[in-house]
Amino acid sequence: MIPKETIDKIFDAARIEEVVGDFVTLKKRGANLLGLCPFHNEKTPSFTVSPAKGIYKCFGCGKAGNSVNFMMDHDQMTYPEALRYLAGKYNIEIEEKEQTPEQLQSQNERESLFVVCAHAQKYFTNNLFHTDEGRSVGLSYFKERGFRDDIIEKFQLGYALEERKAFTKDALSKGYRLDYLVKAGLTIDKTQENPEPGTRNPELAFDRFAGRVIFPIHNVTGRPIAFGGRILKTDKKLAKYINSPETDIYHKSNVLYGLFFAKKSIIAEDNCFLVEGYTDVVSMHQAGIENVVASSGTSLTVEQIRQIKRYTQNITILYDGDSAGIKASFRGIDMILEEGMNVKVLLFPDGDDPDSFSKRVSYEELKKFIADNTKDFIAFKTMMLYSEVSNDPIKRANLIKDIVESIAVIPEAIHRSVYIKECSRLMEMDEQMLLNELNRIRRKRVSDKYRSESGPSENVTSEEVVVETPKESIDPNGIEQQERNIIRVLLNFGDRNLVVTNEDENGESVEASITAAELILHELAQDNIIFKNQAYQFIYNSYSDGIANGQLPDMNSFVNHDDVNISKTVIDLVSSPYTLAEWGRHNILVGTEEENLKATIYKYVNTLKAKYIQRMIDENLKLLKDAADENEIIMFQQKQKQLDEAKSYFNNLLGRIIVK
């Protein structure tokens, strides 16, 4: 349990722009910051961060929250996990008792997987530096590769002992459950496929990693979630590399090796270097280039591309001289282009890869080589394939078609046009002919996408197909929308002072100064209004209690509320996708709610009351229709007359003309 005073310290320290900025590239827009939403795929930024309010809000998918909510949503953390992560980021000590083996066993499964992976990382790193076998085998290997101690420690590299049960025995002796060691992919137990929890036999379990140097794989917050192990023997029967299997906290298609260490540099350089393996990443960091990640030996995925896109629009792919591997990766280039990103390519000399080349040249030479030899993907692809076509016209035509197909996936029309011009120049082809082929390919893609008569194909994105629910079926009287308007004004302007006119005991007009919150609550209390939306009612009650105690509630008490529904509701209500400056640029003059605050309050309050009366009329008419007793009919008719009079009264206040 984290003490309340510690939670308050965490909220005070965790600046929203810093927390979000670790994962999203933010640019200034007025008083706020704007970036691409990390929670859904978008091409136009709609993710807004307000440093003044300490909140974020995406006006595309609706995600909203504070610093803690962001970590919960972004990294699938629990509330305590998010607090602990932020406490670590801001060096805030959390006084919690050391966990006993019994407490470890009672932890939720997801957190337990993080815990055993963290233990495994420390265990492997300790082996590397503090065991005879680790130093003589593992550390010697890293030293032979030219890795410095500070780089080894930075990436938390390690070593798994040859003894096939060493890690499992150590973990069990420290109280870690065998079930979680297996589920984290650290221990193998093939004797039981789906045993009941706690029924596995430790004698039949053995380590997944043995006699290998270890590369921990971290998530974007820096927590170890998986491992890669490289064997040092020359036994061809054994795989050179083995990796952790898929687990509840490790999904290969979503993870890029080194992203945690690279993200700040990627933002600063506005470019991400993409390499193939673990050692390429480590070597580039040691050479002084830190904006580099690896796909960890797997084919590049859309999810990995979108991870990079959160930090930059630019990717530079670094290849070694293996032409077969390069051709196989062309599909990955097309995927990057389809995500609207800019792709460049760098080919190292034959026999070199990023690891070897970065070790034999200086930092200045490496930077110069990259700058001088980085090519646009079209020039690179043409160079790679053109030598194979010779003077064969059929092969040449297929090459041109292949390149145009890559250009066709680019979402931006201007970018496509520029690339077509470049392709026309390089291939000595008529530009219009290339454009015709481009348009044919794009028309076919659209046709294929929407071919099915039963509905959109599975390739259609959530941004292209929106299923809307008619609002009338949800809120037929529009009451909740009016409740929303009132609570929004209460939150944004509740502390503003207003001058209202009342009558004293002698019937004379007198002016009084009250807050907007007091005016709203006074007007609603007269009719005992109860909000349908529970979150709105909670906020209303908080203001009511605050006025009674002489102190209006602080906005942070809602934004940082431990009830996520309250927090997100308030953030949604105090966020706006527009600023007055944007209206002004178009010479549109608007009167804001704040400028006409008193009139706005009366309008919203009276509209809400009118909506309630309409709902009462609808309910009364139904009762009147179903009534059989004469006395009941008379009673409902009298009530109907009163309700109609009340409806007319509020409609007159609102300036409405009712034809009905």
Partners of 28 in beta bridges: 33
More confident of the two residues 465 and 163: 163
Do 87 and 6 meet the contact criterion of CB atoms below 8 Å apart? yes
Instruction: Confirm if 536 and 570 have CB atoms less than 8 A apart.
Output: no
pLDDT score for 259: 93
> pLDDT tens digits for 318-350?
987 666 667 666 778 889 998 888 999 998 887
Q: Angle at Cα 568 formed by Cα 564 and Cα 571, nearest 5°?
A: 145
Q: Which CATH superfamily is domain 100-250 in?
A: DNA primase, catalytic core, N-terminal domain (3.90.980.10)
Say which range, 187-196, 367-376, 466-475, 515-524, has the weakest mean pLDDT. Answer: 466-475
DSSP at 257: B
Q: What is the pLDDT of residues 484-521, one digit of tens each?
A: 888 988 888 888 888 877 666 666 777 778 888 888 88
Q: CA-to-CA distance for 356 and 320, rounded, in angstroms?
A: 10
Q: Model confidence at 415, in pLDDT bands (50, 70, 90)?
A: confident
Give the model's pLDDT for residue 150: 95
Q: Which of 183-197, 206-220, 629-643 has the highest mean pLDDT?
A: 206-220
CA atoms of 147 and 383, how far apart (whole Å): 34
212-218/224-231 β-pairing: antiparallel
Q: What would the pLDDT profile of 551-601 be if each residue is shown by its tens digit?
A: 888 888 888 887 878 888 888 888 765 444 444 444 433 445 556 888 888
Whole-number Å distance between alpha carbons of 244 and 251: 10
Query: From CA 165, how far away is CA 202, in angstroms rounded?
Result: 10
Tell me the domain boundaries of the chain: 4-89, 100-250, 378-449, 476-653
Contact 79, 68 (CB under 8 A): yes
d(CA 192, CA 188) in angstroms, rounded, equals: 10
pLDDT at 100 > cutoff 70? no
pLDDT, tens digit, for every residue of 30-75? 888 999 988 888 878 889 998 888 889 888 888 888 999 898 888 7
- Statement: residue 473 has pLDDT above 50: no
Q: What is the mean pLDDT of residues 353-379?
A: 90
Q: Do residues 316 and 272 lie in contact, with contact meaning Cβ atoms separated by under 8 Å?
A: yes
Token couple for 377 = 């993907």
**Tell me, what's the pLDDT at 450?**
57
Asked if residue 143 lies in contact with residue 159, where contact means CB atoms within 8 angstroms, the answer is no
pLDDT over 60 at 439, yes or no: yes
Long-range contacts of 55-59 (CB under 8 A, 24+ apart): 55/16, 55/559, 55/571, 55/574, 55/575, 56/16, 56/20, 56/571, 57/571, 57/572, 57/575, 59/575, 59/577
The answer to whether the 100-250 and 476-653 domains have the same CATH topology is no
Q: What is the pLDDT of residues 607-625, one digit of tens each?
A: 888 888 888 888 888 888 8
Q: What percent of the chain has pLDDT over 70?
A: 85
Torsion of CA 489, 495, 497, 500, to 10 degrees: 50
Q: Roughly what angle, to the nearest 10 degrees, separates helices 479-493 and 516-525?
A: 150
The pLDDT of residue 503: 63
Name which residue leads in pLDDT, 645 or 405. 405
Of 218, 229, 242, 221, give the one whose Cα is nearest residue 158. 229
State how far the Cα of 232 lies from the Cα of 581, in Å rounded to an integer. Answer: 63
- Is 229:160 a contact under the CB 8 Å cutoff? yes
Of the candidates 399, 170, 155, the one whose C-alpha atom is nearest the C-alpha of residue 285 is: 155
Q: What pLDDT does 576 receive?
A: 63
pLDDT value at residue 659: 37
Please answer whether residues 567 and 69 qualify as being in contact, where contact means their C-beta atoms are separated by less than 8 angstroms.
yes
CB 319 within 8 A of CB 274: no
In this prediction, residues 243-265 reach a mean pLDDT of: 91
Per-residue DSSP letter, 38: S
For residue 137, count other CB atoms closer than 10 A to its CB: 19
Q: Quick one: residue 550, left, alpha or beta (phi over 0 = left, psi -120 to 50 = alpha)?
A: left
For the full predicted model, state whether its pTM sits above 0.75: no
| 487 vs 447 pLDDT, higher one | 487
pLDDT beyond 80 at 304: yes
For residue 142, the SS3 value is helix
- Tell me what pLDDT residue 384 has: 74
Close Cβ partners of 360 (under 8 Å, ≥ 6 residues apart)? none
Q: At the fourth CATH level, which superfamily is domain 4-89?
A: Zinc finger, CHC2-typedomain (3.90.580.10)
- DSSP secondary structure letters along 99-113: PPHHHHHHS-HHHHH
Residue 429: pLDDT over 80: yes
Amino acid 468: pLDDT: 29
Structure tokens given for 595: 């400028």
Specify the residue for token string 């919960």: 72
CA separation for the pair 303, 422 (Å, rounded): 29
Q: Which two tokens mark 535?
A: 């979150």
Fold of 476-653: DNAb Helicase; Chain A (1.10.860)
Is the pLDDT at 478 greater than 60? The verdict is yes
Q: Which pLDDT does position 315 carry in this prediction?
A: 95
Apex 44 CA angle, 42 and 48, nearest 5: 90
> 546 pLDDT band (50/70/90 cuts)?
confident
Q: How many CA atoms lie within 13 A of 45 on its CB side?
A: 20
Which of 187-191, 356-360, 656-660 shows the lowest per-residue confidence on average (mean pLDDT)? 656-660
The answer to whether the CB of 525 falls within 8 A of the CB of 644 is no
Query: Predicted confidence band at 364 (pLDDT cuts at 50, 70, 90)?
Result: very high
Looking at this protein, which amino acid is placed at residue 499? V
Q: What is the DSSP letter of 308?
A: H
For the chain, give the percent of residues with pLDDT over 90. 25
Token pair recorded at residue 492: 């944004």
Asked whether 312 and 267 are in contact (CB, 8 A), the reply is yes
Q: How high is the mean pLDDT of the chain?
A: 82
Residue 534 pLDDT > 80 = yes
Under DSSP, is residue 75 helix (H, G, I), strand (E, B) or coil? helix
